[in-house]
Amino acid sequence: MKARGSYKLTANPLARSRPGGCDDPIDGLLRGGRRAERILESLRTEIIEGGAGQSLRIRQVFENPREIYRIELELPEMRYQRTTLIDRDALEDLLEIAEVRAIVAESL
């Protein structure tokens, strides 16, 4: 009988043996970048399609060692809340679209 909390970690040995497998740091960076883009695109879509009843707040939560912002989006008619933490570069990317900038300016 195994003691509680002792679990064997398994990994796919085939993924490690091929180039660009799970241990490749470049592959991890690419996947992380694509994930960040999908998150920003999802935020843009929800902010633009949110309608007049939405509540949007952007606050800076950390300044050092890196500027981190908290985005709170609430759509009461759908009973939906979303909180996302992003850095300064991601916030600037989010605000590239004029429609998003206008909605953010309204909420301030």
Which residue has tokens 């970690």?
Answer: 9
Instruction: For residue 5, give both structure tokens.
Output: 């909390």
Query: How sure is the predictor about 4, in pLDDT bands with cuts at 50, 70 and 90?
Result: low
Query: How sure is the predictor about 33, in pLDDT bands with cuts at 50, 70 and 90?
Result: confident
Nearest to 106 by CA among 68, 64, 43, 50: 50
Tell me what the pLDDT averaged over the chain comes to: 80
pLDDT, mean of residues 72-95: 90
The region of weakest confidence among 5-14, 41-50, 69-78 is 5-14
Does residue 65 have a cis peptide bond before it, meaning omega lies within 30 degrees of 0?
yes
Domain boundaries, the chain: 14-107
Do 69 and 61 meet the contact criterion of CB atoms below 8 Å apart?
Answer: yes
pLDDT, mean of residues 46-69: 88
| pTM for the whole structure | 0.68
pLDDT of residue 74: 92
Q: Tell me, which fold does domain 14-107 have in CATH?
A: 3.30.720
